[in-house]
Amino acid sequence: MKTTTTPRLALAAAAGLLFSGAASAATWSDTFLGYRYGTQFREPSNTQDVRKHVLQFTHASGYSVGQNFVNLDVLQSDKNDKASGNDTGATEFYLTYRHQLHLGKAFDKNLSFGPVKEVAFTAGFDLNTKNTAFAPRKRLVVAGPTLKFDVPGFLDVSLLAGKEWNHCGLASCTDHEHAFDTQWILSAAWGIPFEVVAVPLKFQGFLNYNSEKGKDYAGVKTEPETLMRTALMADVGQIATGRKNTLLMGVGYELWLNKFGNHATAAGVTKPGINTRTPTLQLEWHF
């Protein structure tokens, strides 16, 4: 199935909508370079643990009626997750963009209720590529409502509809350019600052629960997928120099179940490598 034009048009339309707010003057912004490292990452159909170094660029900013978020991860695997055609580790690029339109501010109405301070409409996309034999080229567009909770820092909970197109370079795939079924994504993201014995800390992360998305490249039914990345970070820059939110260090944890919706082979055998449970070390430099 060839689906090259459709995802490009969808992404172009989404980008036009999303970046319409980006030109407005920012009322706040936060940009950082990050690094995380773990030794127990897993990849579908791979029986071995994979060490990964991850470089991260993240930017978030707000304007009068909304906000933007962009994140680029560059993930470098060890040789247990090989690049195509050689014995070196694979390299993956994963880009995420989200835009929120704050409906209460946009329409000058008070939409708060209970612990919810604002209702937003979120839309965005994910893009990825990785130089393995599988050669994925993910294109995902999402849209849906978000509840913004009144907490220190932030807590956002979204219910998004998602549509994914992807590529499979393996000869065993019956559909190399594949359009998955539309799925539902329940997403939570948080960053909660607090102090313990005068030590400034932040509990941060995200949790996505993705419904099944139809059949995969081999005609096998996908299963619901759960991804959580969370971390407890200490503001060491504030401790050392008094400058808040400049240098953060901490420990994290990644939980990924039924990675990419994988569950079993066409023969009904559960695939190895579909669940990741790994601690991580993390560092952020904000500027």
- Residue 25's pLDDT is 81
Per-residue pLDDT of the chain (287 residues; tens, 9 = 90+): 444 455 555 555 555 555 554 556 889 999 999 999 999 999 999 999 999 999 999 999 999 999 999 999 999 999 999 999 999 999 999 999 999 999 999 999 999 999 999 999 999 999 999 999 999 999 999 999 999 999 999 999 999 999 999 999 998 888 899 999 999 999 999 999 999 999 999 999 999 999 999 999 989 999 999 999 999 999 999 999 999 999 999 999 999 999 999 998 878 889 999 999 999 999 999 99
Q: What is the CATH number of the domain that holds 237?
A: 2.40.230.20
- Residue 264's pLDDT is 83
- In the numeric block, the tokens 């990924």 are attached to 256
- Residue 12's pLDDT is 53
- Residue 1's pLDDT is 44
Q: How many domains does the chain have?
A: 1
- Residue 174's pLDDT is 87
Per-residue pLDDT reduced to its tens digit, 148-200: 999 999 999 999 999 999 999 998 888 899 999 999 999 999 999 999 999 99
Following DSSP, what letter does each residue of the chain receive, concatenated?
A: ---SHHHHHHHHHHHHHHTTTTTSPPSEEEEEEEEEEEEEE--TT--S-EEEEEEEEEEEEEETTEEEEEEEEEEEE-TTSBPTTSSSBPEEEEEEEEEEEEHHHHTT----BTTEEEEEEEEEEEEEEE-SSS----EEEEEEEEEEE-SSSEEEEEEEEEEEEEE---TT-S-SEEEPPPEEEEEEEEEEEEEETTEEEEEEEEEEEE---SB-TTSPBP--EEEEEEEEEEEHHHHHHS-TTSEEEEEEEEEEESGGG--B-TTSPBPTT--EEEEEEEEEEE-
Q: Domain range for residue 35?
A: 5-286
Per-residue pLDDT reduced to its tens digit, 89-102: 999 999 999 999 99
- Residue 3's pLDDT is 46
